[in-house]
Amino acid sequence: MDAGLAAVLGAAVGCLATLGAAVVSGRVAARAQFNQWRRQHRRDAYASYLGALHDRDIAMDAILDALRPDDPDLRSVDEKVQRFITLAREVHRAAEVVVIEGPSSMARAADDVARASGGLSDVMQRMVKNAHAGDTARRAADTALATDREHDLYQAVKSFRSAARDVLGRPD
């Protein structure tokens, strides 16, 4: 083989190797960029959900505080309940984004929070209904149960945060 042909073949092999390396490098960079984009969207979804939960929980606390007096201001309680309902809808919307962004472990964690939240909400609704009826027979028991359910909700939210850290921190 003459030197000219060897040089052309060598250049061609070098170009192909460089092109192959560029393609591989480009794909790796694109994959890393996509993974970062996905992590950011998940992070935003999880943060929005936690923010909506926080706002809704403050509204729940306001209702429970308004029910503490022996003769609660029922109009104020009802206004606080309406605020809670509005914020609960926001939590539901934010949870839907968590489910869409995934992964399934986060959907399960959000379901656990929803279950715990529903348990507390059931107690709060009964307390409001009893306050409207003037029924104080279960007041002490419901107040204690609400405290237990608040603890359950706190644990579920804590587990959600931990699951979110795991998802966001692990490489894809």
Residue pLDDT, tens place only, 113-172: 999 999 999 999 999 999 999 999 999 999 999 999 999 999 999 999 999 999 998 654
Task: Using alpha carbons, list the distances in angstroms from residue 77 to 66, 71, 150.
Answer: 6, 11, 19
Q: Name the pLDDT band for 32 (thresholds 50, 70, 90).
A: confident
**Does pLDDT of 31 surpass 90?**
no
CATH 1.20.1440 fits 42-169, yes or no: yes
Residue 23's CB is within 10 A of a number of other CB atoms, namely 10
Q: Are 59 and 80 in contact (CB under 8 A)?
A: yes
Q: Are 117 and 150 in contact (CB under 8 A)?
A: no
Residue 80's CB is within 10 A of a number of other CB atoms, namely 21
At residue 95, what is the residue type?
A: A
Q: Are 111 and 159 in contact (CB under 8 A)?
A: no
* Domains of the chain by residue range: 42-169
Q: Is pTM, for the whole model, over 0.85?
A: no
- Cα 49 from Cα 97, distance rounded (Å): 8
Residues in the chain: 172
pLDDT tens profile 50-68 = 999 999 999 999 999 999 9
Question: Percent of the chain beyond pLDDT 90?
Answer: 74
Higher pLDDT, 169 or 87: 87
Angle separating helix axes 3-66 and 139-169, nearest 10 degrees: 170
**Does pLDDT of 9 surpass 80?**
no
